Amino acid sequence: KYIFYDENLILLEKNNETYNKKHFDKHIPYKSLLINSYKAFQILENILNNPNILHMLEFLLNEMNIKSIIFDNFQIFKILDSNMKIYILSMNIFKSITISHFKWSSSWLFLRKHIFSDKKNIEFLSLKNLKISKSDLEVICKKQKFKGLVLHNIKILENTNKNDLFFGLGVRLEYINFKNVEIYEGWWKEFFQLVHIRIIIISFYTYSSQEKFIKEFIRGNTPNELLYLELDFCYSSISKDFCNSLHHFKSLITLKLYGYQLDQNTHFFSHAFESMDKLENLTVQSCDFNRDLFNSFFQKRSLKSLHFQSLSAKKEILKIDLLDNYKSLLKLNLWNLKINETSLIEIFKLENLILLSLNFCTFETNRNSNSIYFKSKNLKSLYLNDIDLANIYTPELFNNLEHLERLDLSFCKLKPSNLIKLNFMCNSTLKIFSFESGVVDSNYIERLRDFEILNALNLSRCKLYKCSFCELGTACRFFITLEYLNLSHVKTNINDLAYLKFFKNLKNLYISLSDFYLSENFFYVLLPIKKFFKKNLFIETNSTMVSKYIYEENPNDGFF
């Protein structure tokens, strides 16, 4: 069984198998072939035993730029013969290798015998969820001079305090991504002398590993041409010296900092931030909040994308002063903040926004105030999730949204009539719509049917007030385009179930069937559906019939 996800090819043993999308790394410039289990690997190898099929597959993979190969879930894989031939690896197209969930003995033989031969030129190596010896890792790094190295949840078998754990990486290294792995100080010292490093992503799981990194980070030997820095701290304070060291990154384009506290060092961080003249993307997840620092984010004219999440239990009041900087920001994502009316108006004045996401925010507004509306006509993605939108709603709110492609109004306490005011230009642009835990009436249903190219619809946990889903009727305009439908925890009836047959290309269906008896004949109605999510199926009888008559495929193609 094979499927595609974002131009990546996934090989599965079973139709209902899950797979890990996180293996597809945006920092590796190739699409991937994911072999999702050892049994899928065995099936593939039996097919590739035919040389003609082998050469044809190699040609096709190369044409699709699939030059990364991922082996996952090989816990039962045993190499009984070190000279065993592996056909898929006889191809010379692969530039990136990922192995995950291997037995230690098999993983080492697999790497040494079949991947890191002299004939191969591997640029990117990703090791995940493995045990490996220090000496083996050193041999690997000496054998190949990687451009990128990804280590996630790696356990070193020996107890050692030597400083040369990853000896021999060389100046070719451009990208590292470490998660839950202990790196020794001596290696960091050597690493920060590499002049070609472009991307650093590190998640610290212990305070000691964090301190080892920061100790060398603040020495001032950091790479001048670094473009991307992402650090996930242990919810601890970062020092004045760390903030000052950020001054060295004059070329930085993307900065992401998670789980930190500034304490009294806000001024030093702000000063460093202002010196980053090329910074375009900023993500901050902070345990504390400073209004002056936050305003400096909005006022930076080079910034195109801002994502800020407060981890404070107390929602801080956001008071924004943009200093007339209404044109630079393209993407804004705010979490867990209290926003006063003046600040909300400032946000809505941003002229070139293409994405706005406000999540778990509260608003302080004057209900007698003037109308609030989005000034940007370029807005394509709008996420207003788990906020009391009724406090700020005016009939003009959605007037300018002419090019909207994604709209999420889940848990927003909107009245059904509010959706009717959505600009009718969205009928030909809206592809994804979510209205979880809302109230739906017949007028709402009537507005829904006008969306022409809707691909995904989420009405999970909605209350249907004097109406039913099937009232979309034959005039519904997205029969052909709808692929994902979520009606879980929504009261449905037999007519709703029968109505589903009109959606000819429906792939994923979440539904709760209740309050009526399901006879065998009704299951034939669902035969056009390719993917059925029975984990959200609540019935006491006929569960075996569901399995018999509904063909279930891979449940990984998630809803949103």
Tell me what the mean pLDDT of segment 486-509 comes to.
88
Position 548 pLDDT exceeds 60: no
Q: Which residues pair with 509 in a beta bridge?
A: 485, 532
Q: Is the model more confident about 315 or about 64?
A: 64
Percent of the chain scored above 70 by pLDDT? 83
Check if the beta carbon of residue 70 is closer than 8 Å to that of residue 100: yes
- pLDDT at residue 542 in the model: 38
Choose the weakest-confidence range: 93-97, 196-200, 367-371, 465-469.
367-371
What's the confidence (pLDDT) of residue 116? Answer: 64
Most confident of 12-21, 162-171, 376-385: 376-385
Q: What is the rounded average pLDDT of the residues 62-78?
A: 89
3-state secondary structure 386-441: CCCHHHCCCCCCCCCCCCCCEEECCCCCCCHHHHHHCCHHHHHCCCEEECCCCEEC
Q: State the DSSP H helix or E strand holding residue 36, giving kind and residue range, or none if neither.
A: none
| Helical (H) or strand (E) element with 15 | none
Q: What is the mean pLDDT of residues 410-432?
A: 88
Query: At 536, is the pLDDT very low, low, confident or very high (cuts 50, 70, 90)?
Result: very low
Whether the pLDDT of residue 541 is over 70: the answer is no
Q: What is the pLDDT of residue 416?
A: 76
**pLDDT tens column, 229-277:** 999 998 878 888 888 888 888 899 999 999 888 767 788 888 889 889 9
435 or 209, higher pLDDT: 435
pTM, two decimal places: 0.86
More confident residue, 364 or 12: 12
Higher pLDDT, 429 or 141: 429
In a 13 Å sphere around the CA of 461, the CA atoms on its Cβ side amount to 10
Q: Which domains does the chain have, with CATH numbers?
A: 1-160 (no CATH), 431-560 (3.80.10)
Instruction: Give the residue, 175 or 391, on which the prediction is more confident.
Output: 175
| pLDDT at position 551 over 70 | no
pLDDT of residue 371: 72
What 8-state DSSP symbol labels residue 156?
E
**The predicted structure's pLDDT at residue 543:** 40
172: pLDDT strictly greater than 60: yes
Q: Residues 6 or more apart from 63 whose CB is under 8 A from it?
A: none
DSSP secondary structure of 478-535: -TTT--EEEETT----HHHHHHGGG-TT--EEEE---SS---HHHHGGGTT-SEEEGG
Q: How far is Cα 374 from Cα 404, in angstroms, rounded to an integer?
A: 12
Looking at per-residue pLDDT, the higher value among 14 and 475 belongs to: 475
Which region among 47-51, 358-362, 550-554 has the lowest average model confidence (pLDDT)? 550-554
| Higher-pLDDT residue of 213, 543 | 213
Rounded-to-integer distance, Cα 261 and Cα 364, Å: 26
**pLDDT number for residue 324:** 84
Tell me the percentage of the chain whose pLDDT exceeds 90: 42
Question: What pLDDT sits at residue 367?
Answer: 58
